[in-house]
A and B are shown apart, each in its own frame.
Chain A
Amino acid sequence: MRHVIIGGSIAGISAAKAIRGLDAGTEIIMISEERTKMYYRPMIPLIIEKDEIDITFTEDPLERYNIKAVYDKATDIDVKGKQVLLSSGEKLTFDKLLIATGSSPVIPDIPGINGEGVFTLRTMDDALKIKRYSAGKKNAVVIGGGLVGIKAATALKHLGLNLTIIEQLSQILFQRLDKRGAQIISNVIKDAGICVITNDSVSEAVLKDKALNSVNLSSGETIKTDIIIIAAGSKPNLDSFKKSGIKTNRGIIINENLQTSIPDIYAAGDVVEYKDLITDMPSVSALWTNAQEMGSLAGKNMSGANIKYKGFLGVMNSTEIFGIPLISVGLIEPEGGDFDVIVDDSLESYRKLVFDGDVLVGAVFIGDVTNAGIYTNIIKNKIPAGRLKEEAIKGNLSYINFIRTVPVQSLLA
């Protein structure tokens, strides 16, 4: 039996781990475009700001799970002949295939943006390039006020550059934080000395003597810059199998077993389109935790298990920005509908809970993130809060409140 995995990040690694856990003898081949040792992708911004930091897996997954790596790009999949075509011209046959090709940065259509000094931040290599290029530079502009943009800006700020984040929407961290939460974090970022511009966009990158000089904004403003970081979101990497016949929409369409429209081909991670647990709508998740879960389930199902995937929380973020911890989960900015929104907004912390009747559907914690996982768990598993609603609002929710209602099996673990 030969399992082939396209993609060498967390979805692919989790799948390989799951496959190896169920079958010691099967052959696992992983196709990866990145030649670096496998690493924790969310850590790459830290490479820019720190000189000595190891973001690779402490135990190399290739060795630990006995995976054979093929460093190449998959260019097509022959669904009938069960082969993956590689850019080297070689063909790789498979019995079961997992597509875990992840996503790539969206590059906005801006004149002048394809020259020197313009970067995206997706791979370890990107981070190293930014680090090298930023040495001795003064000014940097980040296009996009999402998490990647903010992390890139934070890293460059630590190196001493002047930073401007330009967000075309009216708030930063759109879909990651509610409006008020974003306002709080925006102030934190501004207090750290980073300029945050919302409701505006870069209309042109201006070169002078072939070097990046400045950006013009739609508002008419001009900002001098030596570096542009593009952090305008990501899109699933679908290119290599557009002709294969595997059904795609925004991402690869999978069923509850994580199978694509071709039964022996599975997909997991950022490349997938599947059900958002909150909206019940097909959605694309670009989150590490979801990719990990999907990869693990896909790997088990590829090895003969029959585990159903319920879906993911499209919002499930945790980070710290200039010393302020924040966690947001589920529906954080309800529009319309009959939701019960409870907000506790003080100097030290900001808490927001969104209830749909008795069921907690969303939570935002800024400043104090104590016990956030208890809230995540009841959101994800749609456990009715019932009488606990009041405790939840007061912030006293503890696992002990569920000890009589959670399935006994979970207590036996």
Chain B
Amino acid sequence: MKQIFVKPEKCMGCRSCEIGCAVQHSKDKNLFSAVLQSPPPMKRLFVEATHEIRMPIICRHCEDAPCINACISGCLYRDEKGFVRRRKERCIGCWSCIMVCPFGVITRDKEKHIAVKCDRCHKLDIPACVNACPTGALVLVDIDDMPKEKRLGLILAATKREV
């Protein structure tokens, strides 16, 4: 299974991923019309920074996803590829998913009155955020090519800490 891997040390904070995401989720999937769309299309990931680290915060499509567990309407589900997705028509805007997502990556569409989250661009080979990233801070990796030890090493280095 391919997953999005974040390399904070390569993130410049340019927010290209946010723009790529919003455009992909706009009506025409085109930057120029997306800019004019009203209300503007919503991004599903968020570039955040402290004085020590900078990176986009993305949906992890958690294995035991708190958002699916908390969903009281049958909207959130895991699709056949393993992605945590919405059945938009079932969302009633109760915001239970927002209450429990520890990453803060679910937001409210105030117009449509439904929860908005990453769909891992399930129709695309490469997610829009990865495609938009000019520095390689967001990469798509096959989880089998990235053993746990390697991931652990990268995480420790990126978050500047020791085991």
**B is bound to A:** yes
Determine which of A56, A319, A320, A399 lies in contact with B48 in the assembled complex, contact meaning CB atoms within 8 Å. Answer: A399
Q: Is B122 an interface residue (CB 8 A)?
A: no
Contact flag A58-B92 (CB < 8 Å), given A289-B70, A369-B98: no
Q: Is B103 an interface residue (CB 8 A)?
A: yes
Contact flag A369-B99 (CB < 8 Å), given A55-B73, A288-B72, A408-B156: yes
* Segment 1-57 of A: residues with Cβ below 8 Å from B: 14, 40-43, 46, 54-57
A46→B73 CA distance, assembly (Å): 11
Q: Is A226 an interface residue (CB 8 A)?
A: no
Q: A57-B74, A325-B93, A369-B95 are in contact. List 9 more A-B contacts (CB 8 A).
A: A43-B73, A318-B94, A319-B95, A320-B93, A327-B95, A371-B98, A373-B98, A374-B104, A400-B50
B residues in contact with A296, CB < 8 Å: 69
Q: Is A385 an interface residue (CB 8 A)?
A: no
Please count how many residues in chain B sit with their CB below 8 Å of the partner chain's CB atoms: 48
Q: Is B126 an interface residue (CB 8 A)?
A: no
Whether the pair A413, B63 counts as a contact (CB closer than 8 A) is yes
* Segment 280-300 of A: residues with Cβ below 8 Å from B: 288-289, 292-293, 296
Q: Is A411 an interface residue (CB 8 A)?
A: yes
Least distance between B11 CB and chain A CB atoms (Å)? 11
A residues in contact with B66, CB < 8 Å: 373
A319→B98 CA distance, assembly (Å): 10
Q: Is A370 an interface residue (CB 8 A)?
A: yes
Q: Is A306 an interface residue (CB 8 A)?
A: no
A289→B71 CA distance, assembly (Å): 8
Determine which of B48, B53, B72 lies in contact with A43 in the assembled complex, contact meaning CB atoms within 8 Å. Answer: B72
Whether the pair B74, A58 counts as a contact (CB closer than 8 A) is yes
Whether the pair A373, B62 counts as a contact (CB closer than 8 A) is no
Least distance between B153 CB and chain A CB atoms (Å)? 11
Contact flag A399-B72 (CB < 8 Å), given A43-B92, A319-B94, A408-B156: no
Whether the pair B104, A371 counts as a contact (CB closer than 8 A) is yes
Contact flag A373-B155 (CB < 8 Å), given A43-B73, A327-B95, A398-B48: no
A residues in contact with B104, CB < 8 Å: 370-371, 373-374, 398-399
Determine which of A56, A293, A372 lies in contact with B99 in the assembled complex, contact meaning CB atoms within 8 Å. Answer: A372
Least distance between A37 CB and chain B CB atoms (Å)? 12
B residues in contact with A408, CB < 8 Å: 152, 155-156, 163
B residues in contact with A413, CB < 8 Å: 60, 62-63
A42→B49 CA distance, assembly (Å): 38
A residues in contact with B29, CB < 8 Å: none
Whether the pair B53, A404 counts as a contact (CB closer than 8 A) is yes
* Segment 93-111 of A: residues with Cβ below 8 Å from B: none
A residues in contact with B100, CB < 8 Å: 289, 373, 376-377
